[in-house]
Amino acid sequence: MSIELKNLSKKYNDKYAVKNLDLNIEDGKITVLIGPSGCGKTTTLKLINRLIERTSGDILFDGISIDNIDKIQLRRKIGYVIQEIGLFPHYNVFDNIAVVPKLLGWNKKKIKNRVKELINLINLKYDEVINKYPMELSGGQRQRIGVARALAADPKILLMDEPFGAIDPINREVLQDVFLEIQNKLKKTIVFVTHDIREAIKLADKIAIFNNGELVQYNSTLNIIKKPKNEFVKELLGKNAELNFLEFVKAEKVIVNDYKIIKSFNEIKVDKKSCYIVFNEKYEGFLTESDIKNNNYYLRKEYINYNDSVLEGLNIMFKRNIHYLPVLRDGRVIGILKYDSILEE
Ligand SMILES: Nc1ncnc2c1ncn2[C@@H]1O[C@H](COP(=O)(O)OP(=O)(O)OP(=O)(O)O)[C@@H](O)[C@H]1O
């Protein structure tokens, strides 16, 4: 479900918390809102969820104004995850996740199946956690339960306000990876607030940079890194933005399809593909255009997985002195990393 913010403003007394905000949040993508404290990120999330009312402008969901959507209907379409998650301390994990399905009047069997499915999705073991109370869980586990709870009624939109902010750096990385896996499967429309530029680079399809209630720049992660609009954006990105990008962004985000899959060498034609991938039941290896020109039909075996970082891919390329690298997901080729075009869009 897409969300369009149109000339949206929110004033408290005489001061703008959000000012003349135009933002098209794409369906099925992760949009990250980032900026200094007090710049209006949380206010924007609350406006979308109608926890607070706007002063002026409009918010459209798949083209329909928020004024024409029933508040309860709207909330059902939206899951909300916050930093100190707010799990109910006297409910066990099962009851915490089941809050919304129970409100919706689902039957017991449907609720149990859904809770099981969600525990599986967030990579926890059902029997180990299901009867525990929030205080018996680690911070990371609590946060996962919070995500499961927000997803319980299968909302189309997920609003996440610094959901991993209070987690230590190592567990944070794990949670981010789990989160990306979940998004890969579910393709929700996600608006994610963070302070942490590394987190933004890792998770975002698009980044919206805020300052003083106003939108400074909105673009794909790579375009922002390549063309920061002004000094403020440059400073926010920091010195190592390109390196962060290579380190944190998953290979699948920068693949190209400039390759051909073949079952035998007979299928090789001079059709200007940069790379031929030999694939029978499973991946066997690849040849590059120059291998073919040089009559070198010795299959190269390297590849990386879709969720490895681009930097890992580059590492292999440097070591093996190659410019291409097949990217696999569940044993299938989903594209190639191409040295020349990694930082292109
Ligand atoms: N209920 C309120 N009453 C008055 N002012 C408010 C209220 N809520 C927010 N503000 C002000 O609106 C501005 C934007 O706040 P908001 O919480 O959206 O910022 P933020 O970018 O999420 O900050 P942080 O990263 O610190 O959470 C701030 O100046 C804040 O003080």
Model confidence pLDDT, tens digit, residues 249-258 = 899 989 988 8
Sole residue written with tokens 């039909």: 297
Residue pair 128/98 in contact by the 8 Å Cβ criterion: no
Q: Which amino acid is at 228?
A: P
Report the DSSP beta bridge partners of residue 300: 286
Cβ–Cβ under 8 Å, residues 234 and 197: no
Give 52 Cα–ligand 1 centroid separation in angstroms: 12
Across residues 123-131, what is the average pLDDT? 92
The CB of 37 under 6 Å from ligand 1? The reply is: yes
Sheet strands side by side (includes 189-194):
78-82, 157-161, 189-194, 30-34, 206-211, 214-220
Ligand 1 contact, 46 CB (< 6 A): no
User: Which stretches within 104-230 are classed as H helix?
Assistant: 108-121, 126-129, 139-151, 169-186, 197-203, 221-226
The closest alpha carbon to 221, from 239, 210, 240, 237, belongs to: 237
**The predicted structure's pLDDT at residue 132:** 95
Percent pLDDT > 70 in the chain is 98
What's the whole-number average pLDDT of the chain? 90
Counting ligand 1 atoms within 8 A of each CB, the residue from 12, 159, 209 with the most, and so the one to mutate, is 12
Average pLDDT score over residue span 77-81: 87
pLDDT, tens only, 187-215: 999 999 999 999 999 999 999 999 999 99
At residue 58, what are phi and psi to the nearest 5 degrees? -145, 160
193 membership: H or E segment, kind and range? strand 189-194
Q: How far is the centre of ligand 1, averaged over its atoms, from the C-alpha of 238 (Å)?
A: 24
Q: Whose CA is nearest to atom 7 of ligand 1?
A: 12
77-94: b (≥16 Cβ within 10 Å) or e: bbbbbbbebebeeeebbb
d(CA 10, CA 57): 9
174: amino acid identity, one letter:
V
> Ligand 1 pocket, 9 CB below 6 A?
no
Predicted local distance difference test score (pLDDT) of residue 272: 66
The residue contributing the CA closest to ligand 1 atom 29 is 38
Q: Which two tokens stand for residue 60?
A: 């459209």
The predicted pLDDT at position 105 comes to: 87
Angle, helices 139-151 vs 169-186, to 10°: value is 20
Higher-pLDDT residue of 9 and 274 is 9
Q: 138: buried, middle or exposed (CB in 10 Å: 19+, 13-18, 0-12)?
A: exposed
Are the beta carbons of 189 and 2 closer than 8 angstroms? yes
Q: What does the pLDDT read at residue 85? A: 63
The edge-to-edge listing of strands for the beta sheet with 332-338 is: 304-305, 324-329, 332-338
Task: Give tens-digit pLDDT for 259-303.
Answer: 888 887 877 776 666 777 877 778 888 988 888 888 888 889 999
pLDDT tens-place string over residues 304-313: 999 999 999 9
Q: Token pair of 342, please?
A: 């990694």
Average pLDDT over residues 130-139: 92
3-state secondary structure at position 267:
helix
* pLDDT for 345 beyond 80: no
For the chain, percent of residues with pLDDT exceeding 90: 56
Cα of 34 vs centre of ligand 1, distance in Å, is 14
The 10s digit of each residue's pLDDT in 137-170 is 988 888 889 888 988 888 999 999 998 887 888 8
Ligand 1 site, residue 34, Cβ cutoff 6 A: no
Is 41 near ligand 1, meaning CB less than 6 Å away? yes
Judge whether 74 and 1 are in contact, CB under 8 Å. Answer: no
The CA-atom distances, in angstroms, between 219 and each of 28, 66, 184, 216 are: 16, 25, 21, 10
**DSSP 8-state symbol, 328:** E
Calculate how far, in angstroms, residue 227's C-alpha sits from the geometric centre of ligand 1.
28
39 lines ligand 1 (CB under 6 A): yes
The Å distance, Cα 99 to ligand 1 centre, comes to: 28
Q: Which residue has the higher pLDDT, 220 or 293?
A: 220
Give the tens place of pLDDT for each residue, 13-60. 989 999 999 999 999 999 999 999 999 999 999 999 999 999 999 999
**Residue 40 near ligand 1, beta carbon < 6 Å:** yes
Q: Which residue in this structure is represented by tokens 């979308």?
A: 48
Q: What are phi and psi of 73, to 5 degrees?
A: -60, -40
CA-nearest residue, atom 8 of ligand 1: 43
Q: Which atom of ligand 1 is nearest to the CA of 33?
A: 21
Binding site membership of 155 for ligand 1 (Cβ less than 6 Å) = no
Helices (H), 53-168: 71-76, 93-97, 99-103, 108-121, 126-129, 139-151
pTM of the full structure: 0.87
Q: How far is the CA of 240 from the centre of ligand 1 (A)?
A: 29
Does residue 74 carry a pLDDT above 80?
Answer: yes
Instruction: Return the residue whose CA atom lies nearest to atom 19 of ligand 1.
Output: 38
The whole-angstrom separation of Cα 14 and Cα 45 is 21
194 lines ligand 1 (CB under 6 A): no
